[in-house]
Amino acid sequence: MPPVRLASLLQRRRASGERVVFTNGVFDLLHAGHVSLLQNARRLGDCLVVGINSDASVRRLKGPRRPLATLADRAEVLAALEAVDYVTWFEQDTPYELIARLHPDVLVKGGDYPLNKIVGRERVKKVARIPLLKGRSTSALVAKILKAYGRR
């Protein structure tokens, strides 16, 4: 959902007393670690918004070989998850502007992020860090695929 449209929808939900939870990431090759984080994030409020990096943003952050899946594909997969209420995107390297626009109540990141490195933490009422599932990452999946199938 476009950020502008989502902002007005979330404003109405907050006005009715609902608690909005936000998390963000690339979500390239969705894995059990992502699903665990999203399920735990959803439990912290009444609706969960997931902000995903645009394809250009991912390339700037992770290099020219990423993302593996397009923004449209990543958004569709995330939107199909029961824990996720809304999916939106951002073009910048960080979600700061998106967080400022959406005004979530709770900001969620993985436990590997130190609190002082969580972008947008000063814009929300609460920050939650959720422990990661050990060994689950897109980078680990890519390495496993390359080992199993070689560099072709």
- Give how far the C-alpha of residue 19 lies from the chain's centroid of Cα atoms, to the nearest Å: 17
Per-residue pLDDT of the chain (152 residues; tens, 9 = 90+): 999 999 999 999 999 999 999 999 999 989 899 999 999 999 999 999 999 999 999 999 999 999 999 999 999 999 999 999 999 999 999 999 999 999 999 999 998 889 999 999 999 999 999 998 777 777 778 778 888 887 65
- Where would I find the H helices in 43-137? 55-62, 71-79, 96-102
Predicted pLDDT at 147: 84
User: Where along the chain do its domains lie?
Assistant: 3-149
- Residues with Cβ within 8 Å of 107's Cβ and at least 6 positions away in sequence, in order, are 21, 22, 23, 99, 118, 120, 121, 123, 124, 126, 127, 128
Given this model, what pLDDT does residue 148 score? Answer: 86
- The predicted structure's pLDDT at residue 152: 58
In this structure, what DSSP letter does residue 151 have? -
Beta strands in 34-124 (DSSP E): 47-53, 86-90, 106-110
Q: What is the pLDDT of residue 151?
A: 65
* pLDDT reported for residue 91: 97
Architecture of domain 3-149: 3-Layer(aba) Sandwich (3.40)
User: 115-124 contacts: CB < 8 A, separation 24 or more?
Assistant: 119/94, 119/95, 120/94, 120/95, 120/96, 123/96, 123/99, 124/22, 124/99
Quote the pTM value: 0.91
Which pLDDT score is estimated for 38? Answer: 98
At 138 the pLDDT is 75
Return the pLDDT at 144. Answer: 81
